[in-house]
A and B are shown apart, each in its own frame.
Chain A
Amino acid sequence: GAGVSQSPSNKVTEKGKDVELRCDPISGHTALYWYRQRLGQGLEFLIYFQGNSAPDKSGLPSDRFSAERTGESVSTLTIQRTQQEDSAVYLCASSPRTSGGAVYEQYFGPGTRLTVT
């Protein structure tokens, strides 16, 4: 079946502009994660959605970052007033569900490479 998809694949924007990054999770996956990967670094958690529960926003680096998810479908990560330090690859992952007693693999999309000039 189809995997996690993200768009655009690459985005170049000018400093100060707003950008929207899109993630389409695997159908039926209730959990959705956003991560950021700076050049040569590991992934940093940004935000997590699980069904209709309130999202876990503990990883968002500033109030310029926000994300929405409609039900259990598409999610959009928005970065307002972009700065050069926002340049990174933004990866989305989805999972069938989260449960304290079980291990559910996170399936990653190919990411969006954001370059702020």
Chain B
Amino acid sequence: AQTVTQSQPEMSVQEAETVTLSCTYDTSESDYYLFWYKQPPSRQMILVIRQEAYKQQNATENRFSVNFQKAAKSFSLKISDSQLGDAAMYFCAYRSQGGAQKLVFGQGTRLTINP
């Protein structure tokens, strides 16, 4: 079974600075997808960014980018120019290419933005 590990329960960053959230995963599959979700206090899960394992190029969405290291099974999220609205729980998630395509989540990292 696949597992996802987020080793940083909490992180904090100064507003306008850059922060990197770590994620590692374990799988024997070669084709899969990786995601970062944001969960603010409202509980709504919001997709931040996704990466297809077959793509070597790291995904980027505005201020959010990932560092995908397939051989190391590492998938970190970099947030540039941090804003107060970025404060939330961040979850890394894995999804197989086939089957039910259920998401396997890490434990989450709570990100605090200091003004």
A40 to B6, CA, bound (A): 13
Give 1 or 0 for each of A1-44: 1 = CB within 8 Å of chain B CB: 00000000000000000000000000000010101000011111
A11, chain B: closest CB distance, angstroms: 14
Q: Which residues of A contact B33 (CB under 8 A)?
A: 103
Give 1 or 0 for each of B73-112: 1 = CB within 8 Å of chain A CB: 0000000000000000001010001111111111110000
Q: Is the CB of B43 within 8 A of A89?
A: yes
Q: Is the CB of B100 within 8 A of A50?
A: yes
A98 to B20, CA, bound (A): 31
Q: Is the CB of A43 within 8 A of B43?
A: no
Q: Which residues of B contact A89 (CB under 8 A)?
A: 43
Chain B: interface secondary structure? loop
Q: Which residues of A contact B28 (CB under 8 A)?
A: none
Give 1 or 0 for each of A42-83: 1 = CB within 8 Å of chain B CB: 111100101000001011000000000000000000000000
Neighbour of A98 across the interface among B47, B100, B106, CB < 8 A: B100
A89 to B91, CA, bound (A): 15
Q: Is the CB of B105 within 8 A of A56?
A: no
Q: Is the CB of B100 within 8 A of A108?
A: no
Q: Which residues of A contact B47 (CB under 8 A)?
A: 105-106
Q: Is the CB of A45 within 8 A of B104?
A: yes
Q: Which residues of B contact A40 (CB under 8 A)?
A: 107-108
Q: Is the CB of B108 within 8 A of A56?
A: no
Supposing A100-B97, A100-B98, A103-B52 touch, asked if A110 and B44 sit within 8 A by C-beta, the answer is yes
Q: Is the CB of A111 within 8 A of B43?
A: yes
Q: Which residues of A contact B107 (CB under 8 A)?
A: 40-42
Q: Is the CB of A108 within 8 A of B105?
A: no
Residue of B nearest to A49 (CB): B100
What are 6 residue pairs bridging A and B, where the CB atoms are less than 8 Å apart in the complex?
Answer: A35-B103, A43-B45, A44-B105, A48-B102, A56-B100, A98-B101
A interface with B by C-beta (< 8 Å)? 31, 33, 35, 40-45, 48, 50, 56, 58-59, 89, 91, 93, 95, 98, 100-101, 103-106, 108, 110-111, 113
